[in-house]
């Protein structure tokens, strides 16, 4: 098959591993910078053009869209969908999961466990907002943040009020969340391919750090999920419509709660912690399903 990885970063671990795994399984794999794909919007023969040449004979794309490039990136993925190219994740699923608030609303509607979460526009409503999540300590999150940046633990109501006022003063959109202290600075990353959890790891924040992000000095190890955690992760990815997903879960006193569903989960941490060939499993999934799609097309 001819597979394109849609990524701005050809040299990072995840991109390299996907390319390598695809080639090892006998495919022709290209890394395409989706920001340099331009397209014609037409019903007749929609095309994506890269470096002056139309991308005509691709069988599948693997979107690895950067968080800050969701708008253009999903437009490119949508173009491939219009062209009948199989995509590891659908454009709509990527957009859905990128909007943290929308993601939580959709998960809540389907009864997935979540930390108690509040959202408000006006700073006049801060007191009410803090009450909604049960008071301090609480976690404040920038809606547009990633890798733990813009995630703040406010220990007191006064601290919470000042941080919320500061963020809102900068016109930043924020979520306010119950602090799951019992998670002990750890979270669980469930890596899904197709409708299955194929790998999972526990990430533990550095000492004194409540955020477990590996980018913030956390460490990771393989973990066995409980059946409830596994089914929560599977359901969360399904609700988002993602086929390749990283579902982040906290172990709370009231069971597993989902914090985030990631549409471009990194491969480095999970492959190192579990020793599994996650990239190979993504390629195998594409092999199985892209051909199914073309059968349907032919029939
Ligand atoms: P990002 O998307 O920027 O990584 P997250 O919402 O995943 O932000 O938060 C970063 C980390 O902070 C999480 O991995 C988790 O360890 C910790 N964390 C986030 N929300 C809570 C919460 N409500 N209670 C306890 N810890 C939390």
Q: pTM of the prediction?
A: 0.93
Residue 235, classed as helix, strand or coil, is helix
Q: How far is CA 74 from the centre of its chain?
A: 14
The mean predicted confidence, pLDDT, of the chain is 93
Residue 13 — very low, low, confident or very high, per pLDDT cuts 50/70/90? very high
Confidence (pLDDT) at 144: 77
Q: Is the CB of residue 139 below 6 angstroms from any atom belonging to ligand 1?
A: yes
- Is the pLDDT at 145 greater than 80? The verdict is no
User: Which of these, 2, 87, 10, 77, lies nearest to 37 by C-alpha position?
Assistant: 77
The rounded Å distance from CA 57 to ligand 1 centre is: 41
Confidence (pLDDT) at 123: 81
> What atom of ligand 1 comes closest to residue 145's alpha carbon?
3
What residues does CATH 3.30.1490.20 cover in the chain?
117-179
What residues does CATH 3.40.50.20 cover in the chain?
2-95
Span 191-243, pLDDT tens digits: 999 999 999 999 999 998 889 887 888 899 999 999 999 999 999 999 999 99
The DSSP code for 137 is S
Element (H, E) at 127: helix 126-132
> What atom of ligand 1 comes closest to residue 186's alpha carbon?
16
Q: Are 265 and 191 within 8 A, CB to CB?
A: yes
Give the span between the Cα atoms of 238 and 235, in whole angstroms. 5
* pLDDT over 70 percentage in the chain: 96
> What atom of ligand 1 comes closest to residue 185's alpha carbon?
16
The rounded Å distance from CA 295 to ligand 1 centre is: 42
* Dihedral, CA of residue 285, residue 287, residue 290 and residue 292, to nearest 10: -90
CB proximity list for 106: less than 8 A, separation 6 or greater: 96, 239, 240
Confidence (pLDDT) at 143: 82
Residue 297 — very low, low, confident or very high, per pLDDT cuts 50/70/90? very low
Strand arrangement, sheet containing 37-40: 37-40, 47-50, 53-54
Span 238-260, pLDDT tens digits: 999 999 999 999 999 999 999 99
User: Which of these, 278, 257, 200, lies nearest to 20 by C-alpha position?
Assistant: 278
Q: Average pLDDT for residues 96-113, to the nearest whole number?
A: 95
Q: What is the CATH number of domain 117-179?
A: 3.30.1490.20
Q: Which CATH class is domain 182-284?
A: alpha beta
Tokens representing 219 are 């460490």
Q: Are 63 and 94 within 8 A, CB to CB?
A: yes
Give the span between the Cα atoms of 103 and 89, in whole angstroms. 16
The sign of the dihedral angle between the CA atoms of 47, 49, 52, 53 is negative
CB proximity list for 275: less than 8 A, separation 6 or greater: 222
What residues does CATH 3.30.470.20 cover in the chain?
182-284
Name the closest-CA residue to atom 5, ligand 1: 148
Residue 75, classed as helix, strand or coil, is helix
- Is the pLDDT at 273 greater than 60? The verdict is yes
CA-derived radius of gyration, the chain? 20
Q: Average pLDDT for residues 106-112, to the nearest whole number?
A: 97
Write the CA distances from 194 to 10, 97, 286, integer angstroms. Answer: 24, 16, 9
The sign of the dihedral angle between the CA atoms of 234, 236, 241, 245 is negative
Residue 296 — very low, low, confident or very high, per pLDDT cuts 50/70/90? very low
Q: Is the CB of residue 211 below 6 angstroms from any atom belonging to ligand 1?
A: yes
* pLDDT over 90 percentage in the chain: 80
Q: Which CATH class is domain 2-95?
A: alpha beta
Q: Average pLDDT for residues 287-291, to the nearest whole number?
A: 93
The rounded Å distance from CA 120 to ligand 1 centre is: 19
Could you tell which of 147, 151, 201, 210 is best to mutate to test the pocket of ligand 1, judged by most ligand atoms within 8 Å of the CB?
Answer: 151
Q: Is the CB of residue 247 below 6 angstroms from any atom belonging to ligand 1?
A: no
Could you tell which of 187, 190, 251, 253 is best to mutate to test the pocket of ligand 1, judged by most ligand atoms within 8 Å of the CB?
Answer: 187
Span 15-50, pLDDT tens digits: 999 999 999 999 999 999 999 999 998 888 899 999
Q: Which of 113-122, 164-173, 290-299 has the lowest mean pLDDT?
A: 290-299
């Amino acid at each position: 098959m001819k597979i394109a990885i849609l990524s701005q970063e050809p040299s990072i671990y995840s991109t390299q591993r996907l390319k390598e795994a695809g080639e090892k399984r006998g495919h022709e794999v290209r890394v395409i910078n989706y920001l340099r794909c331009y397209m014609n919007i037409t019903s007749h023969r929609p095309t994506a053009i890269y470096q002056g040449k139309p991308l005509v004979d691709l069988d599948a794309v693997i979107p690895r869209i950067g968080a800050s490039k969701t708008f253009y990136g999903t437009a490119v993925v949508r173009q491939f969908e219009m062209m009948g190219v199989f995509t590891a994740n659908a454009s709509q699923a990527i957009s859905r999961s990128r909007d943290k608030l929308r993601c939580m609303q959709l998960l809540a509607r389907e009864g997935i466990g979540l930390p108690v979460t509040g959202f408000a526009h006006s700073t006049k409503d801060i007191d009410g907002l803090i009450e909604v999540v049960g008071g301090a300590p609480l976690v404040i999150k920038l809606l547009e943040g990633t890798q733990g940046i813009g995630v703040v633990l406010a220990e007191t109501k006064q601290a919470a009020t000042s941080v919320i006022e500061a963020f809102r003063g900068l016109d930043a959109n924020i979520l306010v969340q119950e602090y799951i202290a019992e998670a002990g600075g750890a979270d669980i990353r469930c890596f899904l391919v197709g409708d299955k959890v194929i790998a999972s790891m526990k990430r533990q924040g550095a000492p004194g750090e409540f955020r477990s992000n590996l980018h913030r000095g956390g460490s990771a190890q393989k973990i066995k999920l409980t059946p409830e955690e596994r089914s929560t992760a599977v359901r969360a990815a399904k609700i988002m419509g993602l086929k390749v997903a990283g579902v982040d879960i906290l172990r709370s006193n009231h069971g597993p709660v989902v914090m985030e569903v990631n549409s471009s989960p990194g491969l480095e941490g999970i492959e190192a912690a579990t020793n599994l060939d996650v990239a190979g499993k993504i390629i195998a999934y594409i092999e199985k399903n892209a051909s199914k799609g073309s059968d349907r097309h032919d029939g």
